[in-house]
Structure 1
């Protein structure tokens, strides 16, 4: 789990401009208005990032700000306040000469904005209400520092002006297709299970009016042939009631990431509100742009599968038809010549393919999936209602794909993890079910009308998902019928995410078992079943990040958004209608990998981290009820202009009209006084807790001070005062002496333990000792007795002594012949110089050889004795 370093900073708290970005106008707030209007249950994703820029939806407008600029402006203002004395300030001049770093964006929407989704290329923003979708072209960052600080109006397109309207079914999810050309393909899924694919182009306004592909999942679920019409009804909503309209109410949908392997990037997963899960594969736009490794990996797997089926006589006709359909689909791609188009800024050119026309453009709807090893059904209805789905695709094994090839394919992201998809389901009760797609979802199509296997379509077994873990993210007191939990991906790992409920944010990590499970499945070996069972019993990491009290259900937390930037840090940001909630974490260990940079060899992360002597906790903020105005004046104004205005000027009399006025006033005042009392009680508890925290901080400070004095030696009051250097030197000297003493004691104990052992020698050790003794006897001799007895055996030591004796005799003869130091003018014995040189060379070579043998034997014996 990432370590929390701080909570909502001062530049996002009151009264800074960063706090006002998340709140509505004060004129629209009152004590009574906040509790009357309850929002309809549904996803609320009102925060989106573009680097360090953040977009926040507040009501019917969007706030846009640069977080780094806001922080720097606030720090500069605080520095100005500290620099100038009281009564003199440079804040006014500073505000006039500098931009604020935030703007308000006006959007032509008729209802409150519920979701903001930024395209992968960061140039489009999908704006969703409950029924409508608008596409806005995002402005340049320079508008944030422009002199003009007024509201900004963007170029906005209405998506499906006759499709996504209030008279039709609501929009459940809007997803940017991971294989869209430069991130311009949007997929919308409505509550009535209709999937539409929009290929957007600002040069073609018709691309915003009609989708290029529309699929009615309720028709597709009952379909038996590709020749049927599965398009969405043009007339509008369906008439009448059917079981499918109730069981196939969509809760959420999602794709896996673009860098996933296999069929994952083109598989749309749909979670139904009643608990069913479906998959639609392959779902592609007319023009799509795959990553470099996708088509080669699919081609290898399809060809290998087709070859295996030809050699296997047990394959059914349905399996053979599926292999033929996939082969036809891949053959249509292989004959295409991809078009090279310019990619996004900083990216390589993209290859664009056309969607294969064979076997068909509408895939088969796979599902509903059966859940194996699922937990027992709960009696709580919210445990069976799905609210969101999150899929982690399979890893792309590029190394195995390019085995034996000279070229290397470019990897778009970290390819580590499981070779199977992980499907995470989130219930309205806050329970997370982590499922494994063991079989793997592959591309499937319905057969032709005249196909022989049409009758087997209805008889096939349903696909399955294995439930690996199930964990709760909410407490029993936090669950209520309007709760709609949501997933938020983490920017540092594929196998970690955040769950946002109405009143809490929880971190979940699957890395504790995902990598170990993949290692066991790939390597295998003895004991694999036992180790896999241990991994299955090992729970995922789950930690509560933030919790707020459930005082008002009308102000739920928005889905948290996570980002990491070197200038901003590792930040989690969420918000209510009353203000933001920010949590800063320690920078991840893979920070340089995230930005494609290598770490310097001399980099030391510990030098940049300050010493933290406290546990971070959120700063207390007064309850919202203490700040908003009362609704009593508006009630009195209403009575003055109503039919009871005469009663306000007369004495109080017992009547039905007086009872009505008193009842209305009592309802208003009871609600307001209850909220004020709760806020005051919370303030009192916080004040009492502040005293406890202050005592705890003082106690910790005293403990640290005493430890520092103990280290420096200042805790000793007797004797003359000594400097810190002297005290530190004495402590170091004492530590060194004690270390030397401990080392000496350990050495003595080691020698004593070796002497105390009476273990008998093994056969190999006895043979080795005997060999050493024999060698010692041959080289150095075995005493005078052995010398006399073995003189005739020509041992090496005897030969060496004889050679030395011969050498001395020859040297004496040479001195005698030379006549001392003088060299005679002519030799007495006339021996030819050639013969003399040859004989002397032979003698010297023999001497060198014997000397080398003896020295080698001595060195070997010395090594054996030392070892």
Structure 2
């Protein structure tokens, strides 16, 4: 769990050069001819990174800089001095480059390709692919704007009359080189397009190599149908799916890293605004690259599954869907293997990846799996999803490395789950954490042939909702908010959530480790109870990183939504979380991640108790808010400096140097200047009023702190005094012995609390995933045998109940025999048996009665033991059920 060591560092605040990187031109003049601003509902991803390089959108212009350079220049830059003429300071050098891209409309997303060669510039309706220069070229001494070579993606596809672009994703399995790249675009009308870009072939930017309309695919029955989205200018008509399948976000299930499930990086997850999730697997370009463990892992999973399905459904006329799906996967995998045997695929020596061609059979378009749904309680009708993040399941190394010497080859440093975690965010700021237990594998629609196999039915799949988190205050939920996720660079099960006014960190690492230990445990006794404890307790650990105060948003800074945050890690500035809103950067310096063992121990202790460890409340806490950022209006130039060039016609400029004469043109000029100056002074007044309110609040907080200190001082004085007979406190009258006794009592109470906490933690640790000992396993087996013996009613089983009935009948017969013999004997206690020596020896009656009494006590004792065991087994049986 990262901790905030400090907020926005000084080298990103004014007057350092880092602050000028985010500073733009503040528009204070109101243009009545300007079109009204349309509220945009979509992700704000106007911040991108390439190593320590940062790309930001300021005034709809893309700026580039290097954080290492900004920090170095801030620490070594001398203060500016006024020149001798007194005309002000010399203009400072700009430590950033402006990248010019011919884009129409406001840019909403910036996406850097995995190898850092291409950048996708996404507006509401258009997508442009820019070629990024080398970092050495950008960091030169030249500061003039740099025009990038840009290609428009789909000039007749992504245009204003068509559906807006919601997501643009670089394919994790695409071939990304200096010349080639692969990007996937998803529009709001559920159209998915795969673009394989080649700088040597300009036609590759014109049409996608694969286009899928999900509204057609969800109702598809054969792979031979046409699932292509309607072309430009064609009437789409009315469809009921236009509302239920409005796309909110899309992401791939993996990043093609070692140790994750082989199907994950080729699975595209699509989230719809009402709350449904769909999966396309496998979605591949015509030429794709695979990690070294992908093909062996697919073979280890598909071949045994096909063998088991054929053995189960052998001789059945109507093959089941499971057998048909297994045969399709085997056919798909066989075509990939044939490429390796006939034509050796290309190999990337640097990335250790093999390049394959997309299989033709069964089909290039996979089947649409879903919808995946979860029970959200009160929010049943419309969840209004905004973004999703998928944490893939781990690679099944046991099946992959069976019989191999190096079985730990693909083990991760962090314990990974064998199930997929899906987290979705809503517009109200709520995050739902779900589990996908069945796993998503490759599926295709059948061929359009008669009597081949039955058409599979698409049935909804259920996700297991484990927790729902609220990250936005109740009074801010009515405002426009589009939360987005950002992966953590240190932990696989950690991520950041950026809302309109805050950034939070959510960690699932500790819970995932304990859950995986329980899922992989060989001892299944009590597993249901332990799983309930894991899922009912605290699952996600949250930490608020950045929180903005909404009363500071009156300075006309647009947009009013934080950009999707980025995480940088470098030796010079450590771990830095960076985002911005308007012209003010918002950052947080995080502490270095601690060792995995220490982190797991600390988080497990907190999670076992289902709540944070209770510490004594602080005497007085500091307010949680971001540091003060100087408004940009204080650093802008006077608007009247360029007023003449912008507002006065050229034919009237000559009259400005003459004596002022009353005329309609002079009145119009003065009125226009007044509007500009009034707007500028109005913003200045609001900024100054905000600073005044902050100073007043600071005075009030300082007063509260002083009052708290005075209260603490009074309490300290009361420690060394006691109340006398007159009811007044007498200072310095308490003896040292009384204080020592009070201190000893406090220490004893603290020791008792620590001992109690240790006992509770020990009990909870025994509940959560610890394997039972041999003695405990033997006791459980004995209890099971006894319960089975009591409850079984089979004819051949020697049940304990039957033996109990037999023992009771034998005891009754013995008692009857004893009574009969006692009645035949004389009543005298001293009498003896007068039997002949040939029959039986003479036994005294007193001894005979004592033996019978001992036998009766033994029978009663055994009967009581048997009844007690029977009652205990019945209670245990009712407790297990």
What is residue 533 of structure 1 aligned with on the other side?
Answer: 532
Of 630-639 and 517-526, more deviation after overlay is shown by 630-639
Shift of residue 204, structure 1, vs aligned partner: 1.8
Paired residues for 1:501-520 under 5 Å: 501-520=499-518
Instruction: Assess, with a 3 A threshold, how the Cα gap between structure 1 residues 181 and 676 changes in structure 2: closer, same or farther.
Output: closer
Structure 1 pair 399/52, CA: closer, same or farther in 2 (3 Å)?
farther
- Evaluate the alpha carbon distance shift between residue 36 and residue 680 of structure 1 in structure 2; reply closer, same or farther with a 3 A threshold: farther
Q: Tell me the equivalent position of 2:483.
A: 485
Output one character per residue of 1:151-197: Cα deviation in whole Å (capped at 9) or x when no partner. Answer: 11222221112211112111110111111113721111111111111
**Kept after mapping to 2: 8 A contact 1:502/1:556:** yes
Residue 625 of structure 1 contacts residue 679 of structure 1 at CA under 8 Å; is this kept in 2? no
* Match of residue 222 from structure 1: 219
Measure how far apart 1:214 and its partner are. 0.6
Shift of residue 695 of structure 1? 5.8
1:193 aligned residue: 190
Secondary structure of 1:515's counterpart equals helix
Q: Is 1:397 the equivalent of 2:381?
A: no
Check the 8 A contact 1:157/1:208 in 2, yes or no: yes
SS at match of 1:181: coil
Distance 1:251-1:524 versus aligned 2 partners, 3 A rule: same
- 3-state SS in 2 of match to 1:436: strand
1:629-648 correspondence runs (5 A): none
Contact 2:14 2:630 in 1 (8 A): no
Partner of 1:498: 496
What is the DSSP-based 3-state SS (H/G/I as helix, E as strand, rest coil) of the residue aligned with 2:339?
Answer: coil
Q: Report how far residue 299 of structure 1 moved.
A: 0.8
Residues 339 and 351 in structure 1, CA contact (< 8 A), matched pair in contact too: no
Give the superposition deviation at 1:93.
14
SS of alignment partner, residue 122 of structure 1: coil
User: Shift in Å at residue 528 of structure 1?
Assistant: 1.3
Question: Are the aligned partners of 1:37 and 1:554 in contact in 2 as well (CA < 8 Å)?
Answer: no
Query: Which of residues 237, 243, 246 is equivalent to 1:246?
Result: 243
Residues 70 and 471 from structure 1, CA distance in 2 versus in 1: closer, same or farther, beyond 3 angstroms?
Answer: same
Does residue 106 of the first structure (1) align with residue 105 of the second (2)?
no
Number of residue pairs matched by the alignment: 652
1:325 is paired with a residue whose SS is helix
Residue 454 to residue 52, structure 1, CA distance change in 2 (3 Å): same
Judged with a 3 Å threshold, the aligned counterparts in structure 2 of structure 1 residues 76 and 349 are, in CA distance, closer, same or farther, namely same
Aligned counterparts of 2:448 and 2:2: Cα–Cα separation in 1: 55
Rounded to whole Å, the distance in 2 between the matches of 1:412 and 1:574 is 34
- What is the aligned partner in structure 2 of residue 178 from structure 1? 172
SS of corresponding position for 1:442: coil
Structure 1 pair 192/280, CA: closer, same or farther in 2 (3 Å)? same
TM-score normalised according to structure 1 size:
0.68
2:627 maps to 619
Question: How far apart, CA to CA, are the structure 2 residues paired with 1:548 and 1:130?
Answer: 27
Kindly provide the CA deviation profile for residues 794-816 of structure 1, in whole angstroms up to 9, marking residues without a partner as x: xxxxxxxxxxxxxxxxxxxxxxx
Q: Name the counterpart of 2:542.
A: 542
Deviation at 1:329, TM superposition (A): 0.6
Q: By how many angstroms is 1:470 displaced?
A: 1.0
Query: 2:285: which partner in 1?
Result: 285
1:57 aligns to what?
57
1:707 matched to which residue of 2?
none
**Within the alignment, does 1:153 sit opposite 2:147 as a pair?**
yes
> Is 2:696 aligned against 1:688?
no
| Deviation of the 1:31 alpha carbon | 8.5
Residues in 2 aligned to 1:670 and 1:446: alpha-carbon distance in whole angstroms:
66
Equivalents in 2 of 1:542, 1:40: separation in Å? 29
Change (3 A) 1:692 1:296: farther
Deviations 1:221-243 (CA, angstroms, capped at 9, x unpaired): 11111110111222346433221
Aligned partner of 1:770 in structure 2 is: none
Q: How far apart in 1 are the matches of 2:198 and 2:595?
A: 36
Alpha-carbon deviation of 1:490?
0.8
Counterpart pick for 1:165 among 136, 159, 172: 159
Distance 1:634 1:428, change over 3 A: farther
Corresponding residue number in structure 1 for 2:378: 377
In structure 1, the partner of 2:429 is: 430
Distance 1:65 1:638, change over 3 A: closer
Q: Which residue of 1 aligns with 2:127?
A: 133
For structure 2, the residue ranges without an aligned partner over 5 or more in a row are 598-620, 650-660, 664-670, 714-881
CA distance in 1, matches of 2:360, 2:98: 46
- State the secondary structure of the residue aligned to 2:463: strand
Q: Tell me what 2:569 maps to.
A: 564
Q: Post-superposition shift, 1:41?
A: 1.5
Structure 1 residue aligned with 2:232, among 214, 230, 235?
235
Deviation at 1:148, TM superposition (A): 1.2
Distance in structure 1 (CA, Å) of the matches to 2:368 and 2:397: 29
Kindly state the Cα deviation for residue 636 of structure 1 after the two structures are TM-superposed: 14
2: CA distance between counterparts of 1:390 and 1:58?
Answer: 27
CA change 1:273–1:317 in 2 (3 A) is: same
Q: How many angstroms apart in 2 are the aligned matches of 1:362 and 1:356?
A: 10
Cα shift at 1:393: 0.7
Q: Are 2:634 and 2:684, in contact at CA under 8 Å, matched by a contact in 1?
A: no
What's the TM-score, normalizing by structure 2?
A: 0.67
Higher Cα radius of gyration: 1
In the TM superposition, what is the alpha-carbon distance from 1:689 to its structure 2 partner? Answer: 5.2
Cα distance, 1:339 vs structure 2: 4.9
Q: In structure 2, how many angstroms separate the alpha carbons of the residues matched to 1:640 and 1:101?
A: 34
The Cα RMSD (Å) is 4.2
Q: Separation in 1 of the partners of 2:65 and 2:527?
A: 52
The residue correspondences of 1:440-451 to structure 2 (distance < 5 A) are: 440-451=439-450
Once residues 355 and 90 of structure 2 are traced to their aligned partners in structure 1, the CA distance between those partners, rounded to angstroms, is 51
Cα deviation code 1:296-345 (max 9, x no counterpart): 1111110111111122249952111111111111111111126554648x
